[in-house]
Amino acid sequence: MIYTACQDKNKALDPKNPFASEFNTPYGVPPFDQIEPEHYKPAFLAGIKQQTDEIKSIVNNPEPATFENTVVALDETGSLLDRVSSVFSAISGAKADSVIQDIEEEILPLLTKHHSDIFLNDKLFARIKTVYEAIPTAGLNVEQKMLVENYYKSFVRSGILLDESQKKRLREINEELSLLTFNYGKNLLEETNNFLLVIDDPADLSGLPAGEVEIASQTAKKKGLDGKWVFTLSKPSWVPFLQYADNRTLREKLYKAMYNRGNNGDESDNKEIITKIVNLRLEKANLLGFKSHADFMLEETMAKTPANALKLLEDIWKYALPQAKTEKEALQKLIDEEGGNFKLASWDWWYYTEKLRAKKYALNEEEIRPYFVLENVREGAFETAHKLYAISFKEIQNIPVYQRDVKAFEVNDADGSLIGIIYLDYFPREEKRNGAWMGNFREQSVNQGNFIHPIVYNIGNFALPAGDDPSLLTIDQVETLFHEFGHALHGLLSKCTYKSTSGTNVYRDFVELPSQINEHWAFYPEVLKSYAKHYKTGEIIPDVLIEKIEKAGNFNQGFTTTELVAAAILDMKWHTIETPLTVDVETFENEVLNGIGLIPEIIARYKSTYFSHIFDGGYSAGYYSYLWSEVLDADAFHAFIEKGDIFDPETARSFRENILSRGGSEDPMVLYRRFRGADPNPEYLLQNRGFITK
């Protein structure tokens, strides 16, 4: 449904609407207890009108264009639209029922048109251009120059220099793309929720840990299937099944359901949408003077060109694929030793990897999980941040939340001053999309001399509590929690002046540095001993288990890296096409993956029809960023190693001041060199993944 009846957009927003004014709540957090679905659309419409009027005032200002009356004024427009957009964005990802989805489908075209109206406004651009050309003599500081340059480039990259017919076509493309990406995500959520592996024979649960069986029983009860067990396509459900279930036929059924999402030839099929998206992205890039979408996207990154990104991927691939082949042979040998009369398939990899890990390192993840209580791991992340940056966290009681199991925390600096607020939403539900991410309810800035404290959130899909047992995390989930918390620190510790340059508003291949470096602390012995406590006995994780974790640290790294790099290359190939796609999606994907030699026992981490990062999540031609940033994070963490102290105060202070607090206020490589004193050494990534020795 596309909303066209906009005749009410000129009406003032009802003062009773929670979005009508700044939130009158503790810390200015969203009043979730007052917000209802019917409040969103009127607030969006009023917000669009408000910002449009504010921009008219800038354009019609008779005074000559200056940094303050044009660029700063533009950056400060849209306060109402920011309020409703930030809340709605979080809800549409974390609690998107059919009502929210309908609102999103209705509003998206209006927001896309509004964005185009701003960045295709010739009079507004003329003023921006005047300020941009005056940079050499304007006496601006580094952040102010960056703000002006960013706005100037945003207008150019949005098509302001095109002729009118080209602008008209660009508007059409933008609006069509907004709906296509929305429908892609909607289809994926439906496909994820619609499949259930229902088990009614207890024998089919053989091999599964008791906790996973209990969770499957609880899931079945919620579905009205008492006495049965249900496994879903939520990652905390399907991964343990693939790791432990002895029934190979059911493992195959569940795994194929996972990787065929959006590829079932039904009304939720994403293949036609993908073709339209990549062709429209190419057409848009061509209109703007680029030969491919990847060339367009990477212009504003550290990599700069697809060739540079692909070179990194290919360099890592040379190490990863041979290691994956060696791992495949070891798994096949284990199958043969057990008398299995079959060839290793992709749905066997997780199961036999778990067996081989137990055999090789005497390490079974189920032996470790009792020490990884969600709340304790969270406290471990808090304590790590405290030791590094002297910040503290205090849970806030009786604060509005949008879901009853969401927690909110006040974050304070060493002197007791407020830094910001963080919300944590960790459990899966049907209305929540898969994965984990960070976002903002309010970005940090300084407005008219007032420091605006950030309000951020982390969202995950971690293991549910099982019966009376708490949520127990896997090693991967512990790493994910620390990763997303690193993003949150980037948003929280920002000390910039302008919202457009603060926090995580940085290059896509730089934004993963704060998140990925934070993972490094998670499994260090002194950190583990601060949070890894057995949920029944309170026993601190013993040294023997820590030693096993360390020894197995790079186990299965060939698989992990190969599936990641394969997905990144697939993304890049989708977006380096220079002529419209004519072959079908599966043919294109197979040609890419076969072309790089991906073995059939491993699939790319994301197949195209459920690769939401690139078709619904802002990472198009950007999935390589995780590896580009890993070059940075591996090198940056080595700065601590060189000092002989993973909590070295001076190194932590420098990382906070030069990276975390600076947002996008300066060129990222300049920031990085200021912290490290040199360019990053890519060898540390290879060492990190066990491909070369230290």
CATH number of the CATH domain containing 47: 1.10.1370.40
pLDDT value at residue 7? 35
535: its two tokens = 């949920």
In this structure, the number of other CB atoms found within 10 A of the CB of residue 524 comes to: 15
**Which residues, 6 or more positions from 297, have their beta carbon under 8 angstroms from its beta carbon?**
508, 575, 620, 621, 622
Task: Indicate the pLDDT class of residue 12, thresholds 50, 70 and 90.
Answer: confident
User: SS3 for 230?
Assistant: strand
Q: Count of CB atoms within 10 A of residue 222's CB?
A: 11
Catalytic residue among 191, 484, 512, 601: 484
- Which two structure tokens, joined as six digits, stand for 320? 């990863």
The helix-helix angle for 557-574 and 625-643 (nearest 10°) equals 140
Query: Looking at the structure, do residues 245 and 331 belong to the same domain, yes or no?
Result: no
Judge if 92 and 222 occupy the same domain.
Answer: no
Question: Do residues 335 and 467 share a domain?
Answer: no
Q: What is the mean pLDDT of residues 521-542?
A: 97
Residue 264 lies in a domain: no
Give pLDDT tens digits for 180-233.
999 999 999 999 999 999 999 999 999 999 999 999 999 999 999 999 999 999
Residue 265 lies in a domain: no
* Residue 184 counted as domain residue: no
693 pLDDT higher than 90: no
Mean pLDDT of 461-475: 93
* Residue 316 scores a pLDDT above 80: yes
On whether both 486 and 411 belong to a single domain, the answer is yes
- Does the pLDDT of residue 489 top 60, yes or no? yes
In a domain, 127, yes or no: yes
Residue 285 contacts residue 296 (beta carbons within 8 Å): yes
- Is 350 part of a structural domain of the chain? yes
Residue where one domain finishes, among candidates 209, 228, 259:
259
Give the mean pLDDT of 19-47: 97
- Domain limit, last residue, from 237, 259, 281: 259
Chain centroid to Cα 480, Å, comes to 11
Q: Are residues 112 and 151 in the same domain?
A: yes
- Assign 4 a pLDDT band (cuts: 50, 70, 90): very low
Task: Tell which residue, 466, 472, 474, 564, has the closest CA to residue 522.
Answer: 474
Structural domains counted in the chain = 4
pLDDT tens-digit map of 371-423: 999 999 999 999 999 999 999 999 999 999 999 999 999 999 999 999 999 99
pLDDT number for residue 8: 40
The pLDDT of residue 118 is above 90: yes
Q: How far is CA 141 from the centre of its chain?
A: 31
Asked whether the beta carbons of 196 and 228 are under 8 A apart, the reply is no
98 located within any domain? yes
pLDDT score of 96 more than 70? yes
Tokens of 423: 């919300």
275 and 312 in a single domain? The answer is yes
Burial (Cβ within 10 Å: 0-12, 13-18, ≥19) of residue 463: buried
Tens digits of per-residue pLDDT, 615-668?
A: 999 999 999 999 999 999 999 999 999 999 999 999 999 999 999 999 999 999
On whether both 378 and 500 belong to a single domain, the answer is yes
Q: What is the DSSP string of 653-664?
A: HHHIIIIITTTT
pLDDT tens, residue by residue, 317-351: 999 999 999 999 999 999 999 999 999 999 999 99
Q: Which CA distances in Å does 598 have to 210, 255, 352, 593, 611?
A: 35, 18, 19, 6, 18
Question: In the structure, what pLDDT confidence band is assigned to residue 287 with cuts at 50, 70 and 90?
Answer: very high
Assess whether 130 and 204 both reside in one domain: no
CB hemisphere CA count around 377 (13 angstroms): 31
DSSP state of 72: I
Q: Which of 605, 623, 641 is the last residue of a domain?
A: 623
Domain that holds residue 113: 7-161
Q: Report the chain's mean pLDDT, rounded to a whole number.
A: 96
Domain assignment present for residue 463? The answer is: yes
- Same domain (yes/no): 393, 339: no
Structure tokens at 258: 């996972």
Note the Cα 616 to chain centre separation in Å.
Answer: 11
What's the rounded mean pLDDT across residues 597-626? Answer: 97
- DSSP label at residue 371: G
Q: 296 and 238 in one domain?
A: no
Asked whether residue 9 carries a pLDDT value surpassing 60, the answer given is no
Residue 312, domain member (yes or no): yes
| pLDDT tens string 48-93 | 999 999 999 999 999 999 999 999 999 999 999 999 999 999 999 9
- 131 and 150 part of one domain: yes
- 279 and 426 share one domain: no
CATH number of the domain at 589, please: 1.10.1370.10
**Does residue 366 carry a catalytic annotation?**
no
Q: Could you write out the DSSP letters of every residue in 571-638?
A: HHHHTS--S---S-HHHHHHHHHHHTT--TT---SS-GGG-HHHHTSS-TTTTTHHHHHHHHHHHHHH
